[in-house]
Structure 1
Amino acid sequence: MTTVSLVTGASRGLGRNMALAIARQGGDVILTYRGGADQAQAVAAEIAQLGRKALALRLDLTDIASFGAFAGALKAALADTWQRDGFDHLVNNAGQGEMASILETTEAQFDSLFDTHVKGVFFLTRALAPLLADGGRIVNVSSGLTRISFAGFAAYAAAKGAVETLTLYMAKEFGSRGITANVIAPGAIETDFLGGAVRDLPDLNRQFAAMTALGRVGLPDDIGPMVASLLRPDNRWVTGQRIEVSGGQTI
């Protein structure tokens, strides 16, 4: 049976690449977006060109009160498009970045990071758990910055550290249903994260490349296939793991 994966924040960047990698592996995809409806529809069209089904649904991870309605919309979409009452994989990818020192970080910045990366992931997973198929997969997204430090990312890294701990508990609590939960930790990637800083600022790009064993910063194509591989049916015995996908950044 064809799998159905839900990838949050998949209208651009790593989420887009994850969605396309899943489709290339033979899966169908439901992708969420917050503000980029046209971009999300374009990704859905790319997936359709690969011969897979795709839908785009709006979701704001900071609006916890909307998760019940989102779960209802998802259930209806599953019934209409796939004649199913559940989905197979939840990829909690959506996020945002802030770069500020501890002394310069505002309460609003701190709250925004934790609302998106921790509170949103926690309560969205809780809301969608009844729809997630037994034997399914959860993949969360952390950062290489939880293992190493780089000035300016204290609050962001702290939020991602919470995601890593949360993943352990998801693996434990959903394990009785045969559901695995793992977290990937990308290193520096050429995306529009932080306004495309790693991609567009040559000095920063070279600085991260020099820290990386494989001699360059990452590309989205380095990350999407890794996520897709965790969703494969023969990868059923890996759970509760932090998997760094960084090319050997600072080892």
Structure 2
Amino acid sequence: MTEPYQSPDGGLPPQSRILTGRAKFTPSYAVIPKMVHTDIVTTRFPFWDKSRAWVLARPLSGFAETFSQYIMEVQAGGGTDAPEPDPQAEAVLFMLEGGLSLELDGTHHTLVTGSYVYISPGTDWKLHNRTDTKADFIWIRKSYEPIGDLPPPHSFVTHEDTITPSAMPDTGGKWSTTRFVNPDDVAHDMHVNIVNFEPGGVIPFAETHVMEHGLYVLEGKAVYRLNTDWMEVEAGDFMWLRAFCPQACYAGGPHRFRYLLYKDMHRHPSLRLK
């Protein structure tokens, strides 16, 4: 079974800690390191019991505009029968640690570390922690963009261990992607994948593209280029990129480097300001 991934410890740093850190917000990207995920920056959502959230991303005019992303913590006995207030929202849940009971369109699923859930817009779902310890998961939300009579994708539950990563061409397997949906399926207007680098793996050019990104580091450490800056990142850090922000990566640590990646896909850019 997959080992638990990095999730917030909460609490508050001691008064003796110096203020210098890696948090950074620029017009083209933001880095939210794990050390800032403290108790005082959490929020609680209506109809969620014994639960709290660290909001990592939300639509911002002039920045990234297509998605929101949270780390959710659900204590033993906590959960919800009414998780989603927006009927147009689709979602991906990815388990970081612990166990949760999911009811999805009337079918029960047990979620563990590495479980992945896609929730189609308008789907009825409930989520509860029936264990004796807390559970943490990533929750990514996007307003689904329907196209004509093309039906939205079906909801599904899977686990990363059931998927063979696809190696990027000419990389010898040092750079690969764990893909949870068919990349050619245009019904999906977002992809949430896991990107994997073995030690020494690189993105060998500055990717510059229209897709927005949210990157939550699951394992390891690396130096990541964001626009013109190289930033050290490690497990538990979050990177938030607006469209066309150049990016590259060098996985220089002793162990593999992996992150959960959001990007918007398969839709024409809007020609009208929202």
Asked if Structure 1 and Structure 2 have the same fold, meaning a TM-score greater than 0.5 normalized by the shorter chain, the answer is no
**TM-score, length-scaled by structure 1:** 0.30
> Which structure has the highest strand share of the two?
2
Largest Rg, 1 or 2: 2
